[in-house]
């Protein structure tokens, strides 16, 4: 009975097909190995770059999101210049949209508008500078009066009587297309 046995011998280092490799064949094997390593290194580098980019894009998006963008002062219209009469302060209601992160809400506020003429309009915060109560305009005396602790302010916002430490706070103002706009609230200076 004939038994045939087959076996396959893997080339060992420095041998090709079981036979000792020539120097040219050795050189070809070394070059092939170097090319393979270079290919793997390049692929690893590319994979790292892709992963880094995929992480960087969402982070950049987050950094530019409304939550991270600093709120800038915007001017808000409170009425037409012709709505106000000289020497007659009037309390106005106004609103604006406020973004707090992803939350967008409408904020409603009030302010006192004091007009002397079309080029001289002052807008005051509605809160007394003592402890923040709302004050009113007293037409007979032509003064603002706070009911909480008896403060009195002139039409220009100066403290006439009572405990407030400083004049009324006022808003930055500007007029555009006949509209009166207010911006940042400035603390009244004593």
In whole angstroms, the minimum distance from the beta carbon of 113 to ligand FES comes to 20
Nearer to ligand FES, 21 or 136 (CB): 136
Angle at 136 between CA 98 and CA 130, to 5 degrees: 75
Q: CB of 78 within 8 A of CB of 149?
A: no
Query: Applying CB under 6 A, does 130 fall inside the site for ligand FES?
Result: yes
Q: Is 136 in the site for ligand FES (CB under 6 A)?
A: no
Span interacting with ligand FES, options 5-13, 68-76, 136-144, 157-165, rule CB under 6 A:
157-165
Using the structure block, give the residue that is written with the tokens 């916002």: 157
Among 29, 162, 173, 179, binds ligand FES (CB under 6 A): 162
Query: How far is Cα 71 from Cα 101, in angstroms, rounded to an integer?
Result: 10
Is residue 86 within the footprint of ligand FES (CB under 6 A)? no
Check residue 133 for interaction with ligand FES (CB under 6 A): yes
Interface residues toward ligand FES, by CB under 6 A:
128, 130-131, 133, 146, 148-149, 151, 162-164
């Amino acid at each position: 009975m004939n038994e045939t046995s087959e076996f396959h011998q893997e080339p060992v280092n420095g041998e090709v097909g079981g036979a000792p490799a020539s120097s040219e064949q050795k050189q070809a094997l070394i070059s092939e190995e170097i090319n393979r390593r270079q290919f793997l290194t390049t692929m690893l580098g590319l994979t790292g770059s892709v992963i880094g980019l995929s992480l960087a894009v969402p982070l950049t998006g987050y950094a530019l999101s409304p939550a991270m963008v600093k709120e800038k002062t915007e001017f808000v219209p409170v009425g037409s210049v012709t709505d106000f009469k000289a020497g007659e302060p009037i309390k106005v209601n106004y609103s604006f949209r406020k973004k707090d992160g992803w939350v967008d809400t409408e904020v409603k506020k009030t302010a006192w508008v004091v007009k002397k003429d079309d080029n001289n309009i002052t807008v005051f915060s509605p809160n007394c500078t003592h402890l923040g109560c709302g004050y009113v305009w007293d037409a007979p005396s032509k003064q603002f009066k706070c009911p909480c602790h008896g403060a009195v302010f002139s039409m220009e916002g100066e403290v006439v009587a009572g405990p407030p430490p400083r004049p009324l706070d006022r808003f930055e103002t500007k007029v555009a297309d006949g509209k009166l706009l207010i911006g940042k609230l400035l603390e009244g200076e004593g």
